[in-house]
Amino acid sequence: MTKKTCGSCFKNKTSLRCSDCEDLSCKSCSIFVDEYEFEYMAQFSQDLLDKVFCPSCYNQKVSDQIQKYNEALVLAKNINVYDKDQGSETGIIKKIEKPIHVKDCEGEKEALMKLAFLAAMKGYDTIIDTHLVAEKVSRGGKYRTHLWRGSAVPVDPKIRK
Ligand SMILES: [Zn+2]
Ligand SMILES: [Zn+2]
């Protein structure tokens, strides 16, 4: 691959192509959105994962979504969780949203965090009717493991029936 001068700093040579506009930017100008750093992003969008962006595309199209992601993660960590059997406490809350679902999670904690994150992406700080189930799955014949799936309903506890 032939290297061209970076279109942003006009200094370094590069062959890194922006996933969006396809301009070439060098390693220090480009912004990488890797799957490892944004592990929950796949829950709502695959569009940005494992891609590289030039500074202008990042600022115009990506940075808002990254900011929203980071805010949702903070919200998700502090989310209020009510189980299915807490109906006496949550029965007065109006359900506006449809239930959200996650599956193929490695553990109960991960399933819960993913549910919380999905709710937070919609702007909610509370989930009710939370239900988590472990399923036995066999991988490669003999090896058995548990994968978790779950569902919950994102709610605003201030909105009553
Ligand atoms: Zn550059
Ligand atoms: Zn670009």
Q: What is the pTM of this model?
A: 0.84
Res. 81: pLDDT tops 80: yes
Neighbours of ion ligand 1 (CB under 5 A): 6, 8-9, 12, 26, 29
pLDDT at 16 (0 to 100):
95
C-alpha–C-alpha distance, residues 144 and 160, integer Å: 44
The confidence score (pLDDT) of residue 1 equals 64
What was the pLDDT predicted at 105?
Answer: 93
Q: Would the pLDDT of 47 be above 70?
A: yes
Positive or negative CA dihedral for 91, 96, 98, 101?
negative
Query: Which SS3 state, helix, strand or coil, does residue 59 take?
Result: helix
Residue 75 has pLDDT above 90, yes or no: yes
- With a pLDDT cut of 70, the percent of the chain lying above it is 98
Q: What is the mean pLDDT of the chain?
A: 93
Residue 126 β-bridge partners: 80, 155
- Nearest alpha carbon to residue 85 among 133, 129, 149: 129
Rounded Cα distance, 54 and 35, in Å = 18
Helices (H), the chain: 55-57, 63-77, 87-90, 108-121
| Percent of all residues in the chain with a pLDDT value above 90, rounded to a whole number | 80
CB 42 within 8 A of CB 105: no
Starting from the CA of residue 27, give the closest ligand: 1
Taking the CA of 4 as reference, the closest ligand is 1
Q: Which domains does the chain have, with CATH numbers?
A: 4-76 (no CATH), 80-155 (3.30.110.70)
